[in-house]
């Protein structure tokens, strides 16, 4: 279930199932859930009836019956296209769900009884609180917490990541997911979910769309569309007596065609598909949202609260700089640091080697061979004994003690350099060669590359970023400035995170945050968007409304952009749909009244061939535009970080102006194609 931006929006399998589903959705009980398209379906039934019983509304005449039949056919296709758009979005979700269902087998579980004996039962019989034993090569039967043992677990069935993950009891990485496989060793698990309510079950239900509820913004937009439909319906009803007074008898099918063209059918047909596709885009990004509301809330986020360690920084303190004491050449410190770290497998040791090589160290490894002294808590140092000298690196106190025992001198500026690194929030490692102190290695928690640019993108769209860290204020300020966040909370405790979220929410802002530990659960629950790590505790995942299967805390940045893209797509297509009506107005209204009122020809700026051609051209365009916009609804409008005012102006220019011009061109082209055919049919 990896994320692929370039993945096809439709496959042969989805196409086949979507076509079948489009016909199934014609059921009026289903159509009533989409009021706009339900009105179109009612119009289809009326026109179909008039085709065979034209006298019902005194619409008699052979040509008129044929016209009614053509209108009915176009309306039927319009409804079918709208159903197809929704079915395609659902089909993509169901295709993902089928992949997940392959993971969910009738797994057998080794339940541990109260007397310590083992009993093999079906995983479906496991209850919350049961303890099971899982050995190498066996599937984990249900979600749970490790209470004993250590094991490598293959989570590729859930995350798509091939590398096994080490899990053990205690801490924030004891949570396991049903459907994953134990690769080595064994673990005892306490089941934390009831049958049918595991994380995998929830994923399948959400991806299928079975539990998708309409979001508040979607409900509000649906209410607007229904209101517009009612307004146009009233206009159409009153238009009939006005036309009779003017000496024009408007056929019922023409009135229905006018109503269908003027009501917002384009967005009405695509609205549900846009919402489902938004969930789909998040899922393909390996994030599971517990509701569409969570995805939509991402688009409205004003403040982003992030942990420092593991999110903004790597979490490992890496060598950043060599600081020689007075009288020592930088090259001497660099080479000594390289030798002392030659066989050090810790992140600090490896990064020291990399920094030394980057600064030009060219020592021969063979010449520096000797016995490696591993780091220990008692000595607080490590190093290398070569044939010529003894090299050590470690805490300042430990190195000073060694040098004094060897009757060496402590440089006057050593304390100044050590204090300087400490004040910056780094870790100072002092390096010595025999009894001579050469200088300090500055270890710092490195900011992840590219975050400055990503935070700048968020700033452009008006999102404030706040970093939470347990470091002292000086260290927090240094990291915050380097990362480019807007604010920070130093010496932060779990309750401080909740307070920060409540403070932002009290100002009317929507807040998003990430977390993985049990102590993060209250803050994740308080935030409007809480993104929990799949590697984290069950408490964190239950409290959050999104779970990142890849356990990448920085992914919250992309999730926010996906939410923005969802709102932009819905707004852009709504603008396009309503703008379409202007051109349709100029196509149909002159066609209806031009025979009785010749002056109305002034409004026929497209110079359409005949009244019937104008009506049918507008109606055909109204139907065809829906499938043309399905790819855009599925993939989303191209997103660029910018302020809300600029975004509004851009969308009005592209989708507003485009929505007005596109129908003028489309309707005219359709008119040129069908006008000769209508003349042959005598319509």
3-state DSSP assignment of residue 132: strand
Distance CA(515)–CA(307), nearest Å, equals: 8
Distance CA(208)–CA(319), nearest Å, equals: 48
Which DSSP helix (H) or strand (E) runs through 317? strand 313-324
Per DSSP, helices labelled H in 341-472 are 347-358, 396-405, 414-423, 451-460
323: left (phi over 0), alpha (psi -120 to 50) or beta: beta
Closest CA to 467 of 492, 443, 436, 494: 492
Distance CA(255)–CA(262), nearest Å, equals: 11
Distance CA(455)–CA(465), nearest Å, equals: 7
Distance CA(109)–CA(118), nearest Å, equals: 10
Distance CA(291)–CA(545), nearest Å, equals: 7
Binding residues for Mg(2+): 516, 520
Q: Which residues belong to the active site?
A: 307
Q: What is the CA radius of gyration of the chain?
A: 34
Please give the C-alpha separations between residue 391 and each of 263, 343, 384, 436, 661, in angstroms, as whole numbers.
81, 12, 5, 10, 77
Q: In what order do the strands lie in the sheet with 427-433?
A: 313-324, 436-447, 427-433, 390-394, 381-386, 370-373
Q: Are 468 and 487 in contact (CB under 8 A)?
A: no
Q: Which residues contact 442 (CB under 8 A, 6 or more apart)?
A: 319, 320, 321, 322, 323, 421, 424, 426, 428
Distance CA(433)–CA(336), nearest Å, equals: 7
**671 is written with which tokens?**
């008119």
Q: Is 137 exposed, middle or buried (0-12, 13-18, 19+ CB in 10 A)?
A: exposed
Return the percent helix, strand and coil in the chain, to nearest 5: 55, 20, 30
From the centroid of its chain, how far is CA 617?
40
Q: In what order do the strands lie in the sheet with 529-533?
A: 287-289, 546-548, 529-533, 511-515, 303-307, 464-468, 487-489
Distance CA(480)–CA(478), nearest Å, equals: 6
Q: Are 182 and 136 in contact (CB under 8 A)?
A: yes
Please give the C-alpha separations between residue 444 and each of 411, 424, 678, in angstroms, as whole numbers.
23, 9, 78
Give me the torsion for CA of 140, 142, 147, 149, rounded to 10°. 0
Residue indicated by tokens 């890849």: 550
- SS (HEC) of 494-554: HHHHHHHHHHHHHCCCCEEEEECCHHHHHHHHHCCEEEEECCCCHHHHHHCCEEECCCCCC
Residue indicated by tokens 């102190």: 437
């Amino acid at each position: 279930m990896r994320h692929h931006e370039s993945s096809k929006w439709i496959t042969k399998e989805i196409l086949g199932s979507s076509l079948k589903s489009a016909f199934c959705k014609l059921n009026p009980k289903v159509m009533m859930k989409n009021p706009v398209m339900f009105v179109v379906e009612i119009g289809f039934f009326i026109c179909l009836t008039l085709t065979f019983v034209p006298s019902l509304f005194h619409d008699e005449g052979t040509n008129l019956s044929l016209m009614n039949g053509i209108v009915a056919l176009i309306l039927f296709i319009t409804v079918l296209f709208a159903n197809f758009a929704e079915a395609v979005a659902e089909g993509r979700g169901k295709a993902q769900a089928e992949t997940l269902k392959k993971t969910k087998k009738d797994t057998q579980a080794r339940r541990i009884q109260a007397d310590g004996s083992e009993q093999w039962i079906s995983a479906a019989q496991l209850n919350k609180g049961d303890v099971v034993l899982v050995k190498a090569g066996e599937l984990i039967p249900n979600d749970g917490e490790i209470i004993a043992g250590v094991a490598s677990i293959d989570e590729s069935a859930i995350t798509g990541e091939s590398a096994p993950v080490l899990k053990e009891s205690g801490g924030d990485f004891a949570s396991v997911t049903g459907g994953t496989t134990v690769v080595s060793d064994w673990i005892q698990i306490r089941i934390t979910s009831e049958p049918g309510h595991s994380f995998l079950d929830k994923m399948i239900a959400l991806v299928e769309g079975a539990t998708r509820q309409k979001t508040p913004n979607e409900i509000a937009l649906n209410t607007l569309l229904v209101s517009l439909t009612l307004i146009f319906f009233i206009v159409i009803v009153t238009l009939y007596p006005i036309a009779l007074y003017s000496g024009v008898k408007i056929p019922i099918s023409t009135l229905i065609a006018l109503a269908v063209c003027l009501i917002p059918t384009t967005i009405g047909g695509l609205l549900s598909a846009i919402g489902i596709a938004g969930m789909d885009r998040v899922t393909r990004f390996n994030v599971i949202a517990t509701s569409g509301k969570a995805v939509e809330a991402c688009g409205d986020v004003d403040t982003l609260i992030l942990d420092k360690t593991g999110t903004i920084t790597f979490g490992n303190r890496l060598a950043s700089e060599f600081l020689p004491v007075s009288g020592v050449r930088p090259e001497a410190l660099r080479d000594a640091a390289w030798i002392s770290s030659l066989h050090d497998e810790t992140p600090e040791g490896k990064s020291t080697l990399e920094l030394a090589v980057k600064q030009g160290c060219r020592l021969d490894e063979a010449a520096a061979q000797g016995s490696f002294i591993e780091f220990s808590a008692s000595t607080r140092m490590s190093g290398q004994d070569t044939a010529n000298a003894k090299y050590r690196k470690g805490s300042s106190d430990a190195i000073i003690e060694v040098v004094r025992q060897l009757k060496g001198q402590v440089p006057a500026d050593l304390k100044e350099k050590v204090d300087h690194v400490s004040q910056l929030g780094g870790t100072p490692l002092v390096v010595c060669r025999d009894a001579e102190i050469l200088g300090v290695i500055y270890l710092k928690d490195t900011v992840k590359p590219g975050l400055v640019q990503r935070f700048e993108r968020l700033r452009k769209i008006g999102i404030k970023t706040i970093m939470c860290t347990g470091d002292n204020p000086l260290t927090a300020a240094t990291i915050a400035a380097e990362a480019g966040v807007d604010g920070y909370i130093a010496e932060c405790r779990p309750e401080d995170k909740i307070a920060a979220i409540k403070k932002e929410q009290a100002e009317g802002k929507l807040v998003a945050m990430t977390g993985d530990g049990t102590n993060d659960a209250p803050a994740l629950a308080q935030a409007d968007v809480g993104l929990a790590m799949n590697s984290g505790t069950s408490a964190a995942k239950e409290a959050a409304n999104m779970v990142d299967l890849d356990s990448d805390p920085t992914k919250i940045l992309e999730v926010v952009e996906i939410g923005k893209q969802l709102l932009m797509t819905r707004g852009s297509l709504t603008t396009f749909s309503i703008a379409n009506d202007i051109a349709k107005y100029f196509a149909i209204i002159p066609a209806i009244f031009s025979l009785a009122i010749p002056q109305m020809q002034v409004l026929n700026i497209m110079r359409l061939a005949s009244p019937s051609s104008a009506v049918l051209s507008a109606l055909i365009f109204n139907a065809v535009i829906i499938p043309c916009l399905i790819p855009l609804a599925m993939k989303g409008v191209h997103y660029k970080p910018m302020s809300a005012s600029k975004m509004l102006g851009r969308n009005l220019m592209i989708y507003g102006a485009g929505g007005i011009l596109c129908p003028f061109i489309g309707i005219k082209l359709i008119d040129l194609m069908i006008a000769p055919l209508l003349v042959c049919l005598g319509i």
